[in-house]
Amino acid sequence: MAKVLIVDDEPAYCRSIAIQLSDDGHETESATTAAEAIKIGKRFVPNVLVIDWIIRDSRGGLQLAAEIHGVNPGLRTILMTGFPIEAVEHEVVEGEVVCLVSKPFTLDEISQAVSLAAANGPRGTLE
């Protein structure tokens, strides 16, 4: 099972994803701000990051993911977005993000994405 850090400035998303992934057997931590995410990322050292495309108090989810990846090079990232996938795909560097997940999503879709990331699977899109 994976150690998963969930980052979204909407606490309800963090809670529901954390409950689902914990039920799946994963160890989870969550953050609703960039500063909190970096602090938890250094202490918790996740191997999977589930992060929103837009975090209100940061430059953005990809930049924040890159900062966390800097202290944990083996980190696998799942990017969530409420924007059309096509609008964010061009900014995703191959290998940086293993899966793009479109909001709204089902908790089963997040479970599937985390399983893919934890297994170091190929990059994919869940729409």
Residue 122 reports pLDDT greater than 90: no
- Helical segments of the chain, H only: 11-23, 34-44, 61-71, 85-89, 107-118
The residue range of the domain holding 59 is 3-126
Q: Of the candidates 116, 110, 124, which has an alpha carbon nearest to the alpha carbon of residue 28?
A: 110
- SS3 category, 84: coil
User: Other CB atoms closer than 10 Å to residue 83's CB: what's the count?
Assistant: 11
**pLDDT for position 125:** 45
**Residues 5-12, mean pLDDT to the nearest whole number:** 96
What is the DSSP secondary structure assignment for residue 32, as one 8-state letter? S
**Domain of residue 26, CATH code:** 3.40.50.2300
Q: pLDDT per residue over 18-45, tens digit each? A: 999 999 999 999 999 999 999 999 999 9
Work out how many domains the chain is built from and give that number.
1
Q: pLDDT per residue over 61-120, tens digit each? A: 988 998 998 888 889 999 999 887 777 776 776 556 888 899 999 999 999 999 988 987
Question: What's the rounded Cα separation, in Å, for the pair 14 and 29?
Answer: 9
